[in-house]
Structure 1
């Protein structure tokens, strides 16, 4: 199946788009688009990839993305297993658990959705700064996240009209006047997929980014399905159609990190979700996340999160 490179939204008469998503799982394809995107997870768990950022997501996760920032909300494997059962349902029984559902609210708007110079006005300085920060990706925590969640749910039920525009501007204004946010991507991160891919001589400029995205999509899918195993670099490189050294250079150029770092972040992201669940020991979580020694798990966990696993649990419980 062809993996999308750039997602273009369907044209609408309204100045911006608000959608309620109710799906078996979120879109599993690594993509970007020229619109700003504000996304709230209402229901569902998984791992989100934004630029070079990898983090677990769950209900209440609120993220704001600028134009052309690659992203992917990958639902946990259980959501795909449930959707397969919906496609080929087994014999129903009264004790069968209801299917898992991924729900979210997303807002899309272009930079000039209210006119070419609207955000250039003096009164829009705070909003303009917010839009600039969104190019690195933003997430919010604390009470502002709860306020934004309520605003988005209200907006999703509003008809197209002036009131809905005011609701969006009020929400953006609230988000621009708080310090309870985190930048997601590394300083200086850029979407290298938009540029020509020089690793593929003989292909045209328009083909190169598409092939790059297909390769990265294959790698993402493979790692997310096998991160609990002993991943072989040769196997992944062969999947991408490269030698291991060429693949390592290619991956770092496109992901802004080494492949081993990417795998570690996926594993630690999974461990964070298991820690938040609180039903397993740290030793079991270490093994279930693909680490073969507890010492290596503890070291990499602290390198990536800045905390030990036990400190992470305490911090999470106090949020």
Structure 2
């Protein structure tokens, strides 16, 4: 049962703060288009980000990339103490806009975020340093809260011992054209978005954008679309009982056989097998619960 919840509105900006105090954390695999920075205090359970599953300690800090299925799960403590979560959700396009309109100091942070595939688990030492500032966020209001959030986000890339899920981030000089392209793609990947459209948003040629994907993300436009769409499909497979053909259509695939081919190549099993195994795992760790904090 959720004891109480504080939600801080961004007043027009694409970020928000959720502060939760709970007896336990119920398993609820879900996703959303925002990045999610979650600090967990006093919990002993598991953190699920995509296919990555790891035990969490008394003080845990992780960043989830947009559209990546994820959940935390922890039972009630034997001593009856409450568990606490501080959750910051934010969008890359918001930070890119700030960068372009008077805050160039955020440019390197935007570049760092754009390269993250699934998520980042921060080292225990770094988490202990940042935790007191994160834990107090809900006590702040207005501009003070906004400044604190930006200050905390700017610190994230400094953790050289952080573990990057799925791919190691390569530190490069930031390129605002790639940042704009990635921000646009993360919002529009389910429709027939094209490389030419992204190039127009980024104000560069298609050839230049291809080069930026290859050099700075070690990837390509098509690979990034695939990554985002398959993550969306995984979420639908886990949270609905709808047929595979419906999941494919809702994930941007008009051709069912193409969906099967790409899903199996990336996940290593068919959509049906993925759903079956996920249900077995869910039953072993706890039933999904709508009260689980986002």
TM range (shorter): 0.5 to 0.7
What is the distance in 2 between the residues matched to 1:183 and 1:207?
Answer: 25
What is the distance in 2 between the residues matched to 1:52 and 1:28?
Answer: 14
CA drift at 1:194: 2.1
Match of 1:42 in 2: 41
Q: How does 1:53-132 map to 2 (within 5 A)?
A: 53-76=52-75, 79=76, 99=80, 101-113=82-94, 117-119=97-99, 122-132=104-114
Q: Check the 8 A contact 2:92/2:110 in 1, yes or no.
A: no
1:117 alignment partner, SS class: helix
Q: Check the 8 A contact 2:67/2:231 in 1, yes or no.
A: no
Match of 2:232 in 1: 194
CA drift at 1:206: 3.5
What is the distance in 2 between the residues matched to 1:105 and 1:155?
Answer: 8
What is the distance in 2 between the residues matched to 1:184 and 1:223?
Answer: 23
CA drift at 1:133: 4.1
CA drift at 1:104: 1.1
Quickly say closer, same or farther: Cα 1:100–1:146, change in 2 above 3 A: closer
**C-alpha distance after superposition, 1:93-143 (max 9, x if no partner):** xxxx653533211111122335x5324575323211331244321111144
What is the distance in 2 between the residues matched to 1:53 and 1:207?
Answer: 22
1:44 alignment partner, SS class: coil
Q: How does 1:246-285 map to 2 (within 5 A)?
A: none
Q: Check the 8 A contact 2:60/2:124 in 1, yes or no.
A: no
Q: Check the 8 A contact 2:34/2:89 in 1, yes or no.
A: yes
Quickly say closer, same or farther: Cα 1:193–1:112, change in 2 above 3 A: closer
CA RMSD of aligned residues (A): 3.7
Q: Check the 8 A contact 1:139/1:184 in 2, yes or no.
A: yes
Q: Check the 8 A contact 1:64/1:134 in 2, yes or no.
A: no
Does 2:148 correspond to 1:167?
Answer: yes
Quickly say closer, same or farther: Cα 1:117–1:74, change in 2 above 3 A: same
Quickly say closer, same or farther: Cα 1:52–1:217, change in 2 above 3 A: closer
Which residue, out of 182, 196, 207, partners 2:163? 182
What is the distance in 2 between the residues matched to 1:208 and 1:113?
Answer: 25
Q: Which runs of 5+ in 2 are unaligned?
A: 1-6, 169-222, 254-270, 287-294
Does 2:127 correspond to 1:145?
Answer: yes
What is the distance in 2 between the residues matched to 1:206 and 1:11?
Answer: 29
Quickly say closer, same or farther: Cα 1:11–1:174, change in 2 above 3 A: closer
TM-score, normalised with respect to structure 2: 0.55
2:94 alignment partner, SS class: coil
Q: Which runs of 5+ in 1 are unaligned?
A: 1-8, 83-96, 226-319
Quickly say closer, same or farther: Cα 1:43–1:201, change in 2 above 3 A: closer
1:69 alignment partner, SS class: coil
Match of 2:285 in 1: 224
TM-score, normalised with respect to structure 1: 0.51
Quickly say closer, same or farther: Cα 1:147–1:156, change in 2 above 3 A: farther
CA drift at 1:177: 2.7
CA drift at 1:145: 1.5
* Structure with more strand by fraction: 2
What is the distance in 2 between the residues matched to 1:126 and 1:215?
Answer: 41
CA drift at 1:170: 1.2
Quickly say closer, same or farther: Cα 1:72–1:142, change in 2 above 3 A: closer
